Amino acid sequence: MSVFAVILGLIAGAILMIATGNNPLDGFYFLFRGGLMNIERVGNTLATATPLIFAGLSVAFAFKTGLFNIGGAGQMLIGGLCATAIGLTFDWPKPILLAVIIIAALIGGALWASLPGLLKAKFNVHEVVSTIMMNWIAYWIIFYIVPQYFKGPFLETESQRIPAAASLKVPWLTSLFSGSFINLGFFLAIIVVVISAFILERTTLGYELKAVGYNRDAAGAAGINVNRNVILSMAIAGALAGLGGATFYVGFASNMQIGVLPAQGFDGIAVALLGANSPWGVFAAAIFFGILHTGKGFMNAMTAIPPEIADTIIATIIYFAATSVLIERNWDKLLKFNRDNLLRRKKKESLEVEAGGDQ
């Protein structure tokens, strides 16, 4: 993760606070205090970051293959639906149930995202368009299935509450973080970050995926099956988002609501951008976002900054930080350009001097 980008983001937020007549020092003090002030809030920060880690990994992974996965929200919904359906249907011992829930969410997300991958590979349908449309298909599927099969006795708009045995929340963790929402999803996220980093950096599969991302034609000419890798990359991205959905719907939340596309699916794009598409970068970026999201309310409560401005400040920090990664990259290029110029000029001068010396 780029510290430079984060600082630029915070400066942009500070400017906005000053512009709206608030003291940015107070604002940031309470923002970070709200995210980190005690063990419960640290737990909540990590819990908020958990789905973002998965969503960010999903976007980053697809991006390595040159694909832009905007379907994180829909893949999260499908993963969450698989998790919720199994959690509400089966009455197994907790370890088995959780294992099945996680695998189901993974498969659900993978299948859901491999469809756009297939369309891309076979018919060259742009994945941005198809994943966005898949989001809405997922949205309406949830809208139909949850009230039809999983609703509670009264409300048409949300599923029954997930039983304790199917929840990623575990009592020892909750009490360790004095009543926080942190759940096993966070540890799953760490494991998945490690695995993703391993796949991308140390395996043939990772190498092929990246090769396709760098240059499809070159990869194809080198004997790599481009279509297979496009589908595979989308499937893995979907599996990651599906896992994120499971941690969100049976971990962070305790039921599934209809009519809501999870915002994490889209925030994942910013997380991936800020994390420079590297698994550990994504991890750090997601935790940074977790602090912002958790601390926002406390900043609101302790200062006169109204919620709408606070939301704008958080959004400014997030998107400024994410986009300044681009500025930073170009900055490096600019520096390199200058340096090269300088070197060239020096070389030229020294040549001239040498030439002059000969005279």
Partner 1 sequence: MKKWLALLLVVVFVFAVSGCGTPTPPADDTGDDAGDAPAALKVGMVTDAGTIDDKSFNQGTWEGILLAATDFGLETRYLQPGGTTEADYITEIGNLVDAEFMFVVCPGFKFETAIFDVQTRYPDAKFVLIDGFPHAGDWTPVVNDNVVSIFFTEHESGFLAGLATALQLGEGEVGFIGGMEIPPVQKFNWGFQQGVLYANENYDTNIVMNAENFIYQGTFDDVAAGQVLAAAMYDKGVDAIFAAAGGVGVGAINEAKTRASAGENVWIIGVDVDQYAEGIYDGASSIILTSAMKYIDVAAYDMIEAELNGAFPGGQILTFDASNYGIGIPKENPNLDPEVVEKVAAAFAEMQAGTLAVSDVQGDLIK
Residue indicated by tokens 């976007």:
59
Of 15, 20, 26, 174, which lies in the binding site for partner 1, with binding defined by CB under 8 A? 26
To the nearest whole angstrom, how small is the minimum distance from the Cβ of residue 140 to partner 1? 10
Alpha-carbon distance 83 to 176, whole Å?
25
- Tell me if 18 contacts partner 1 by CB under 8 A: no
Unique residue bearing structure tokens 């893995």: 236
Close Cβ partners of 177 (under 8 Å, ≥ 6 residues apart) = 39, 40, 42, 43
| Residue of 294, 317, 320, 321 that binds partner 1 (CB under 8 A) | 294
Question: Which of 54, 61, 181, 320 lies at the binding interface for partner 1 (CB under 8 A)?
Answer: 181
Residue 359 identity (one-letter amino acid) = Q
Instruction: Check: CB of residue 255 under 8 Å from CB of residue 304.
Output: no
Q: Report how far residue 349's alpha carbon sits from residue 93's, in angstroms, rounded to the nearest whole number.
A: 78
- Residues 295, 296, 302, 303: what is their CA dihedral angle, to the nearest 10 degrees? 140
Contact call for residue 153 and partner 1 (CB under 8 A): yes
- Is position 179 an interface residue for partner 1 (rule: CB under 8 A)? yes
- Considering only 210, 297, 319, 323, the residue that binds partner 1 (CB under 8 A) is 297
CA–CA gap between residue 316 and residue 312 (Å, rounded): 6
| Rounded-to-integer distance, Cα 325 and Cα 1, Å | 9
Q: Rank residues 24 and 220 by Cβ distance to partner 1 and give the closer one.
A: 24
Comparing CA positions, the residue from 167, 152, 137 lying closest to residue 257 is 152
Residue from 39, 118, 165, 302 in contact with partner 1 (CB under 8 A): 302
Site for partner 1 in 186-225 (CB under 8 A): none
Interaction of residue 352 with partner 1, rule CB under 8 A: no
Residues that bind partner 1 (CB under 8 A): 3-4, 7, 10-11, 23-26, 28-29, 32, 34, 37, 44, 47, 143, 147, 152-157, 160-161, 179, 181, 252-255, 257-260, 262-263, 293-294, 296-298, 300-303, 307-308, 311, 335, 338
